[in-house]
Structure 1
Amino acid sequence: MAGIDYEVEYNNRARVPENPVLMAGWARDAAAYREQLAPQSIRYGAGARNAIDFFAGEGEGPIVVFIHGGYWQALDGSFFSHCARGLNAHGIGVAVPTYDLCPDVTVDDIIGQMRMASCELARLGRPLVMSGHSAGGHLAACMLATDWQALDPSLPKQLVMAAYTISGLFDLAPLVETSINKALRLDQATAKAASPLFWKIPAHGSLDAVVGGNESAEYFRQSRTIVEQWGRAGVPTRFGIVPDANHFTAIAPLADPHSAMVARLKQLAGR
């Protein structure tokens, strides 16, 4: 849209100067949680990063998948182990996949890897609730909008029951002219092709899109737009705000068993 400075709107590290301290806190809290509850490692491909940390919970019912952010070009699942704490406290299993990063792969490749990870988790015989932060929110929406039986007729039609996105991105076109795109290497055509906002709307499941209260206007627009567009087509959708949260603190409620975010994910998992 004319007049919008997309660099300012989407450069979250510039918007939140204290981000190094916040991300160091993620790493510290994640390591402490792995010491408390060592995850099972599940491989979904041959690459070094094609792995899932699975915090099993009680071993029954739907699995909540948390897909990490980092603009498809940074971080890995080990920074986010503590995001399983809140749901694990209620006996709900949480899977935290890692994926290859741009520019070594494309965004489309990463979507494919998350489909591979989902297919591997399907072997456990339990449906999935997809959640994700930032780029992970994009990937969670992509998983809800995937036709699983077109990929593999043996897969359940409703392998993914719901998506819960936290400050997600659903239209990648605004990133094309920003510094973020140096690693992504998107043009307008590939950005649109990788944007779930422009895919066939899911025929089942639900979408929650929540945004940190202190996020940029563009992050609010992204989530409101997909909630409105998919909602008009009949998908049960919800828009929400994480009060007083910036892009890096919006995921903090996942570690709190008593948070509204954990309560909603628990509800989505049928517990």
Structure 2
Amino acid sequence: MITDWTDAYANTPHIPDGAAFPARWAAEAAAFRARSDVVARLDLACGAAARLRADLFLPEGPSRGLVIFVHGGFWMQFGKDWWSHLAAGPLARGWAVAIPQYVLAPAARIGAITGQIAAALHRLAEEVAGPILLAGHSAGGQLVTRMVCRDVALPDRLRARIRHVLSISGLHDLRPLLRTDLNATLRLDPAEARAESPALAEPVPGTRLTTWVGTVERPEFIRQSALLANIWTGLGAETRVVEAPGRHHFDVVAPLADPDSPLCRALLSG
């Protein structure tokens, strides 16, 4: 039985040298953007607020389609500049990659952030033709899976382009967060926690979902990954659950940068 829900969702204290990861991500991302062979369109506007921007990385030659990666940070940390290097894997296989950011809590509630990502998806789809693959890490996993929920309004022509959703260590039932210290910033109430939980929503017809989580993550993240796939299977979605051996919450997403990694191949298989 869980008695300390804040600890159940805490990652940094349970990962060796966990506090060093954000600086490492930022350095790797900056180095990637500085490479002479990287073709990028930076800071594309995706809304009126200053933070509603995205970076778009383009492959050599015609693109096979668009990958959109949505970052995590419990909806209250980070932005697009921490994750640029993760575009390397899909780019090497001919896909364009967009990395949007959103207004962070407490300035925005999670319901509003869902709307911001939907608007970014609409905007970025205008830049690249072809199929769209969605990937998100942690809170980003919640946001990308929300994009294929029936109650999120997207134009039919845009929704038809979404071929696959990859939720990496995603948060799919937000109700446990009501019991954590995180909620002092998130300001979730029971109604919003239910409304923004993909596990409590119905996927649109034709949804293909992969949930991916590390075997040495906090048990709640492993449970949350299995939970969504289990429920959505019963609602007609094609689902797959993968537990990556030896990966924790901060390194489980790293293989996206490797075009030959199982994670990158799983995403692009959509």
TM bin (shorter chain): over 0.9
- C-alpha displacement at 1:216, in angstroms? 1.3
Which whole-Å CA distance do the structure 2 matches of 1:187 and 1:229 have between them?
23
Change in 2 beyond 3 A, CA 1:91/1:152: closer
Name the structure 1 match of 2:25: 26
Secondary structure at the aligned position of 2:69 is classed as strand
- C-alpha displacement at 1:193, in angstroms? 0.9
Secondary structure at the aligned position of 2:24 is classed as helix
Secondary structure at the aligned position of 2:255 is classed as helix
1:165–1:210 CA contact under 8 A, matched in 2: yes
Most deviating of 169-178 and 159-168: 159-168
Q: 1:97 is matched with which residue: 84, 95, 100?
A: 100
Change in 2 beyond 3 A, CA 1:255/1:156: closer
Most deviating of 199-208 and 27-36: 199-208
Tell me which amino acid in the other structure corresponds to 1:262: C
2:69–2:134 CA contact under 8 A, matched in 1: yes
Residues 115-140 of structure 1: per-residue CA shift (max 9 Å, x gap): 00001022133331110100001111
Change in 2 beyond 3 A, CA 1:8/1:258: same
Name the structure 2 match of 1:145: 149
- C-alpha displacement at 1:146, in angstroms? 4.8
Which whole-Å CA distance do the structure 2 matches of 1:126 and 1:183 have between them?
38
With normalisation by structure 2, the TM-score equals: 0.93
Change in 2 beyond 3 A, CA 1:227/1:4: farther
With normalisation by structure 1, the TM-score equals: 0.92
- C-alpha displacement at 1:207, in angstroms? 0.3
Change in 2 beyond 3 A, CA 1:43/1:103: same
Tell me which amino acid in the other structure corresponds to 2:73: G
Which whole-Å CA distance do the structure 1 matches of 2:123 and 2:147 have between them?
13
1:144–1:161 CA contact under 8 A, matched in 2: no
- C-alpha displacement at 1:48, in angstroms? 1.3
Q: 2:196 is matched with which residue: 194, 197, 217?
A: 194
- C-alpha displacement at 1:19, in angstroms? 2.0
1:147–1:157 CA contact under 8 A, matched in 2: no
- Unmatched segments (≥5 aa) in structure 1: none
Name the structure 1 match of 2:118: 115
- C-alpha displacement at 1:258, in angstroms? 1.5
- C-alpha displacement at 1:151, in angstroms? 4.3
Tell me which amino acid in the other structure corresponds to 2:29: A
- C-alpha displacement at 1:177, in angstroms? 1.5
- C-alpha displacement at 1:255, in angstroms? 1.1
Q: Does 1:230 align with 2:232?
A: yes
Tell me which amino acid in the other structure corresponds to 2:198: P
Change in 2 beyond 3 A, CA 1:89/1:6: same
Secondary structure at the aligned position of 1:156 is classed as helix
Secondary structure at the aligned position of 2:83 is classed as helix
Question: RMSD of the TM alignment (CA)?
Answer: 1.6
Q: 2:77 is matched with which residue: 36, 51, 74?
A: 74
Name the structure 2 match of 1:168: 170
Change in 2 beyond 3 A, CA 1:178/1:241: same
- C-alpha displacement at 1:49, in angstroms? 1.1
2:118–2:154 CA contact under 8 A, matched in 1: no
